[in-house]
Amino acid sequence: MVLLLSRLREYYSDRFSGVNTNPRLLASALAKITYGLSLDRNKENTAARSFFIADPVSAASEISALSSQYRDLDLSESELKDAMEWEKRNPLMRFAEIFRTHPLTYKRIMALKELEKELAR
């Protein structure tokens, strides 16, 4: 129950931030933080590992197949879509979400996209 409430709090936090800033920029930053963690392999920052949403060391192996596409650290719309689709289709991620304090990133990004549409009306 506590983890569920924590995930709900993250949705409210994203919504509040999106309303007061720009949902698209917030979604972009969230995607870069989550899907771009292992991209800079030259920097080994083990002291700050616990501050990341995902572990950058284990993230390196998870996205090794996609890492060549992200050399510039700039996620294109298609690269973002590929990363979100991978997370969405992965049954292990859906199961692991039960034990996480944050919702899956693709769900947060989708909620921010809906907020952007809502604000545009």
Structure confidence by residue, pLDDT tens digits, 51-71? 555 555 566 565 554 555 445
Structure-block tokens of residue 5: 């409430």
The residues spanned by each domain of the chain are 2-120
The 3-class SS string of 2-54 reads HHHHHHHHHHHHHHHHHHHCCHHHHHHHHHHHHHCCCCCCCCCCCCCHHHCCC
Query: Which residue do the tokens 């921010």 mark?
Result: 112
Task: Return the higher-pLDDT residue of 121 and 11.
Answer: 11
pLDDT per position as a tens digit, 7-46? 999 999 999 999 999 998 888 888 888 876 545 545 555 5
Q: Amino acid letter at 54?
A: A
83-101: average pLDDT: 87
Hunting for tokens 């996620």 — which residue is that?
Answer: 75
Is 70 exceeded by the pLDDT of residue 115? yes
Question: What are the φ/ψ torsions at residue 117 (nearest 5 degrees)?
Answer: -65, -40
